Structure 1
């Protein structure tokens, strides 16, 4: 084992521009200005993020503000004063947008000390409530007095992921061991509400709605449970992506939601669910906002509205749809905003010399260094955590659910290129590490939220066969892999999915036999010149000297693979 200081000289940094671009939206809210014009408000991801106001009669953008210091906004609400409130994930600041003055103004730092706010909700009596990470706190902002109030920690967990407010109570969704609390707004007394998966690691309450006496509780942004707020009885469950609609103004017992590309309706009086016509096909992306609006002026002749109210929905990728319940007609279009440059999350070179890049929160691009230009983009591709290569094919591992895609560079980008191959399973979430050899692809993953224990997956594309080996290094994630002469060398992190607490003290380097698919060795690198054991070893590579080189916390080390 050797550790040393590396002295290197590099040329000047060259800015290649915004290589990975996409329209990514996490939330949207509906409001009305003093001219009684209906507007939609949302923020697109990027550096910086951008706030938009969209006129819902004309479907045109009427205002736009760049937000220096913010790259994403999950939390938005329209207050009782008709102002738009939002909070990002980096600066602790609550912002307010005036639809009449067309101005964004910072209101000050929230009192919790948590920079990341997941959710905001407004009460009818002039308060804005926020839910935070990583200390699971709730705060309130008094719209009239301009004062903050810290409600403190809701649980000894990291995520207060969702919040809902009624006249008397707050409902707060917790993770990563799911629970739901009802908090009295005045005396702050708190009681827990029984929910499915209560206390189970890896589960979080990601959305809460209260309609009539029904509490809609979403688990892990996928499955809703409907709970009677009086009896506590579970009335129904259904899969839905993120948001659901408020009750219809024309039919107040009906709530609409999207799953896949289909639209469904939930009957609050009978607690049954029915799908709407299969002719109604919606965008695949998750729904980030659904509202009832008057039919816009711009509806096409084929979607002429017969209803007084139509359902408007906006997806994560900026597609909008309008559905008319009476005619069952639906129109789908893209909101007119510019894609933003995103942080590069994954980068790998291909056999053709191109660079393949995945963006944070989404987007995939192919960059040709020789031509100094982007030669391909998939703006709606999921967030790529890692990229690998086997022969001429590129493999992308995406968040969530550790989905694996394969891209054929000889074909044009399209619907099935990259093609989905499989999901790793075994409660894995983020495929960070790739290596290839012996005609196989080796994939290292980080588990789901709240869990420890990554996995090594071996995929044989010729046989279309895969095997996943969970937790081969106890309670550690696999974040780097490299193949050499029939063996796979891997490195780990003591950290698991977000919200989990490490049990191991130090990251490890291990050797996996590719032919027998067994673990040969594991060790904690002896790094005498650093003052703590490595918590994560971020990269392994073989050098021209045949030695195994690694990197951890500003330290580069080298190991002899023969004596590992």
Structure 2
């Protein structure tokens, strides 16, 4: 999530420092010797990981964590001991952190949209105030301390802003174009950037400068990877460079050198599972929350495998669908569609295998509704809109041609597609008020039926309090969808809701077990439901809330995940319940 470079006072060697995020676990710092490539891992005292990381005078590492506590952790590099954690009430995330010209460390936050200041001498944390007067703005990121006397910061996402915080007076002032972020600061200009567009400002007056010739003066520390892709590089001592690409790192003697990637040289911690699926051979595939990778587990042999990054932009995989042995995936944050053939060598750098197809970005970035095999054999995905906007979309991959189509706002209600299922004729989807970068919008959720070639053929608005999510499944010519603490049962033939089933707790997942059985994961309970009578066959206690579940394996085993662990309910047990 972040990196810096330090001269380690413990052994006098230069180290590349990485901060690692482990969803559902405790994050860690990774020290990599820039000569030998050897690694050392140090656990954080708490929280999942850290966007904020600052090397303070090669004496301390200042770490700002997320996603639960926004801890300010400080590691003494000589003793490898942690100071007492500091917090600001109500904050969950530290975003990027920077060293100010006054020797203090500054960081942006979520959800308070604040600028926090840490005094390394006295070990004190101070809130310098909200960076925006708009109460809907929750993010203050990123921050930059390169301009003496100021901290430059951007944020949003309801109303983007770009500001300069004056350290001495403790005041904020607007400058530049909202939506841009600071790219580089020199003695002669401040460069801001947005989606490839650049603007330049005077670092003394903050007045706009003409662009003539300034672009050529920007620092570009990047290398060309095998296959031609570019990657940012971090300057090291003696003119050398280092870099990080997902799960891999590189060390080179110059920017002209083609780097050789190698895995981060410490053991990766187990991480909360985000998506899980089973292939035709009964092997379990999945992804981890914020993980950028996929994994494979063979229940028979116990063998397991983890990939490198599945695509260039983010790569947190939400949807996995198998077609003829290939994995069709949908990923955040680039709105990506990705196809991978396990029978062929891994070659993501050349966009060969896995291969990234057409994206729905920038308008849609998060495949919140996951992916399903639907009408015509297509792979369909439900999307949430770009940061700072409400809305959703549907997309379709043709598995034969690999062509991608998309349809924005299948129900024109500015709601994301939160869940998706299908049969041979229709797509069935749920929507709700979730969004990226904005608070959840309290709205009446919807259920829709989509027919390819026609569009929306049925729409239903749920009552207030009947919230929807990922839990939706098509089974035995019916559709089951979570609505609050109830499962509503839809009849596609009559296009009416023909019944409901109270669950007591909102369901996180609904998956098909066999032709007569549906599995509903509701809180710490598993309900096995007879889809003929729509009654609960049995209720089982689970070890925790299920974060992901898959339709049954070819042999009828039920696979689901709690935290970082994969569980199986064997088909013989399910058959025993029925008998």
Asked if these proteins are the same fold (TM beyond 0.5), I'd say yes
- C-alpha distance 234-118 of structure 1, shift in aligned 2 (>3 A): farther
The secondary structure found in structure 1 opposite 2:275 is strand
CA distance in 2, matches of 1:234, 1:114: 39
Residue 466 (structure 1) aligned with residue 404 (structure 2)? yes
Counterpart residue number, 1:173: 154
Residue 495 (structure 1) aligned with residue 434 (structure 2)? yes
Residue 542 (structure 1) aligned with residue 458 (structure 2)? no
CA distance in 1, matches of 2:127, 2:333: 32
CA distance in 2, matches of 1:97, 1:506: 47
Choose from 241, 249, 274 the match for 1:311. 241
Residue 51 (structure 1) aligned with residue 51 (structure 2)? no
Residue 407 (structure 1) aligned with residue 346 (structure 2)? no
Q: Any residues of structure 2 matched to 1:75-474 within 5 Å, and which?
A: 75-80=52-57, 82-89=59-66, 90-109=68-87, 111=88, 113-155=90-132, 156=134, 157-165=137-145, 166-176=147-157, 177-195=159-177, 198=178, 203=179, 205=181, 208-219=183-194, 225-229=199-203, 230=205, 231-233=207-209, 235=211, 255-258=219-222, 262=224, 287=232, 290-294=234-238, 309-324=239-254, 328-329=256-257, 331-334=259-262, 335-361=264-290, 362-374=292-304, 376-381=305-310, 382-411=315-344, 413-415=346-348, 416-425=352-361, 427-432=363-368, 433-435=370-372, 436-473=374-411, 474=413
The secondary structure found in structure 1 opposite 2:62 is strand
Unaligned runs of 5+ in 1: 1-24, 240-246, 248-252, 263-279, 295-308, 527-531
Shift of 1:314: 3.7
Shift of 1:553: 4.7
CA contact (8 A) 1:65 1:104 kept: no
- C-alpha distance 459-72 of structure 1, shift in aligned 2 (>3 A): same
- C-alpha distance 332-158 of structure 1, shift in aligned 2 (>3 A): same
Shift of 1:116: 0.4
CA distance in 2, matches of 1:283, 1:123: 36
Q: Give the count of matched residue pairs.
A: 473
Residue 65 (structure 1) aligned with residue 42 (structure 2)? yes
Counterpart residue number, 1:5: none
- C-alpha distance 136-120 of structure 1, shift in aligned 2 (>3 A): same
CA distance in 2, matches of 1:190, 1:517: 52
Shift of 1:36: 5.0
CA distance in 1, matches of 2:91, 2:399: 45
CA contact (8 A) 1:345 1:359 kept: yes
Shift of 1:543: 3.2
RMSD, matched Cα: 3.0
Shift of 1:234: 5.7
CA distance in 2, matches of 1:522, 1:238: 54
Greater mean deviation of Cα atoms: 140-149 or 179-188 = 140-149
Choose from 422, 445, 449 the match for 1:507. 445
Shift of 1:283: 8.9
Shift of 1:464: 4.4
CA distance in 1, matches of 2:228, 2:156: 29
CA distance in 2, matches of 1:97, 1:496: 35
CA contact (8 A) 1:488 1:512 kept: yes
Note the alpha carbon deviations across 1:463-483, whole angstroms, 9 max, x for none: 544331101222011122222
The secondary structure found in structure 1 opposite 2:85 is strand
CA distance in 1, matches of 2:259, 2:214: 25
Shift of 1:447: 1.3
CA distance in 1, matches of 2:454, 2:150: 55
The secondary structure found in structure 2 opposite 1:187 is coil
- C-alpha distance 211-292 of structure 1, shift in aligned 2 (>3 A): farther
CA contact (8 A) 2:176 2:201 kept: no
Shift of 1:95: 0.9
Greater mean deviation of Cα atoms: 339-348 or 146-155 = 339-348
What is the TM-score normalised by the length of structure 1? Answer: 0.76
CA distance in 2, matches of 1:509, 1:463: 30
The secondary structure found in structure 1 opposite 2:358 is strand
Counterpart residue number, 2:571: none
Greater mean deviation of Cα atoms: 402-411 or 128-137 = 402-411
Note the alpha carbon deviations across 1:285-326, whole angstroms, 9 max, x for none: 854x612413xxxxxxxxxxxxxx33343444341232436x
CA distance in 1, matches of 2:3, 2:212: 25
CA distance in 1, matches of 2:261, 2:321: 34
CA contact (8 A) 1:131 1:137 kept: yes
Shift of 1:414: 4.5
CA contact (8 A) 2:19 2:53 kept: no
Note the alpha carbon deviations across 1:477-498, whole angstroms, 9 max, x for none: 1122222241111111222222
CA distance in 2, matches of 1:343, 1:226: 42
The secondary structure found in structure 1 opposite 2:488 is strand
Shift of 1:118: 0.6
The secondary structure found in structure 2 opposite 1:438 is helix
CA contact (8 A) 2:144 2:152 kept: yes
Note the alpha carbon deviations across 1:321-379, whole angstroms, 9 max, x for none: 32436xx44554534222332222211222232222012221111222333332x4313
Unaligned runs of 5+ in 2: 497-579
Residue 42 (structure 1) aligned with residue 18 (structure 2)? yes
Note the alpha carbon deviations across 1:53-84, whole angstroms, 9 max, x for none: 333344433x4312253222110112247311
The secondary structure found in structure 1 opposite 2:211 is strand
Note the alpha carbon deviations across 1:379-430, whole angstroms, 9 max, x for none: 3222102122345433100112211112335545544333222212461112
Shift of 1:519: 0.6
Note the alpha carbon deviations across 1:270-291, whole angstroms, 9 max, x for none: xxxxxxxxxx75995854x612
- C-alpha distance 285-115 of structure 1, shift in aligned 2 (>3 A): farther
Q: Which has the higher contact order (CA 8 A, sep 6+)?
A: 1
